[in-house]
Amino acid sequence: MKIDDVKNICVVGAGNMGHQISTLCAIKGYHTTCTDISTGVLEKAEAFVERYLPGRVEKERLTAEEARQARERIHFVPSLEEAVKDADYVIEAAIEVLDVKRQLFAELDRLAPAHAILATNSSAIVSSRIADVTTRSEKVVNLHFFNPALVMKLVEVVQGPHVSEETVRICLDLCKRLEKEAVHVKKEVDGFLLNRIFRVINQEAKWLMEMGVASVADIDKACVYGAGHPMGPFQLEDLTGIDLSYTMAMERFKRTGQRGDFPSPQTAARYMRGAFGQKTGKGWYDYTEK
């Protein structure tokens, strides 16, 4: 298979990452189906597209005709079987829980065409922990977009020991077609490239905060005005979701048993009271006035 053989893309999971990846694929010319087990999430995803495309026309980033064609190419389908039946490339963007992904990939392997590549957008779970539930392990790969997927240029293509060179080549070529900057991660390592670096920064930021060395705002200021980061670690976590960070940390802790991988006390406290960041109005910062 070659990149020119990829015509139809299916995105499984219509949450923040899923619906943005779906929208991107449709804009770049791919016939795209997006599916989710929640009809409410699927409806919100479709509503996002209905707002986003006209907004791009108003900002002169798309022509009216380009927006119209993109809208025609994207479909929101509640049935997983219907969504993947013609897929050449599947991108899973579901919850970061290993058991859920393994169950889902077993279904995808059964339902998707035999030639289809099955990619996970996971930023924490390597594809070798999923591939064995399928009959196409050489086609199971990490294709990790960054949030927000419509804006962030970086995509990590992670080649586990089971992934074929053909699959990697198609993934890298797909990133080019989507106008993304791909990095080829040649070995499976925890956190891949960027998140592995960011996790060290985040852990230090949390320690400084928990020990009362500096406030959340001042730690963020130090990273922005001293290190040149576009936003500090707490601002970034509010954007991506404290719930996501907590879930990923818990999954890592279950795997390693290392105390340092356990979520920090204040992270856990926010997770337990549903203060997930921007999506809920409160996280490390208060967004209710906005």
Question: Catalytic site residues?
Answer: 123, 144, 156, 195
Fill in the DSSP letter of residue 284: S
HSE toward the beta carbon, residue 12, CA cutoff 13 A: 30
> Nearest 5°: phi and psi at 143?
-125, 95
| Cα 77 to chain centroid, rounded | 20
Q: What torsion, rounded to 10 degrees, do the Cα atoms 53, 93, 244, 24 define?
A: -20
Cα(117)–Cα(90) distance, integer angstroms: 6
Q: Are strands 89-92 and 117-120 parallel, antiparallel or unpaired?
A: parallel
Supply the DSSP string of 167-229, one letter for each residue. Answer: HHHHHHHHHHHTT-EEEEE-S--TTTTHHHHHHHHHHHHHHHHHTTSS-HHHHHHIIIIIT--
CB-based contact 271:242 (threshold 8 Å): yes
Q: If you ran DSSP here, which 8-state letter would residue 7 be given?
A: -
Tell me the two tokens of residue 112: 């998707």
Strand order in the sheet with 154-158: 74-76, 31-35, 8-12, 89-92, 117-120, 140-145, 154-158, 181-185
What three-state secondary structure class fits 163?
Answer: coil
At 144, is the secondary structure helix, strand, or coil? strand
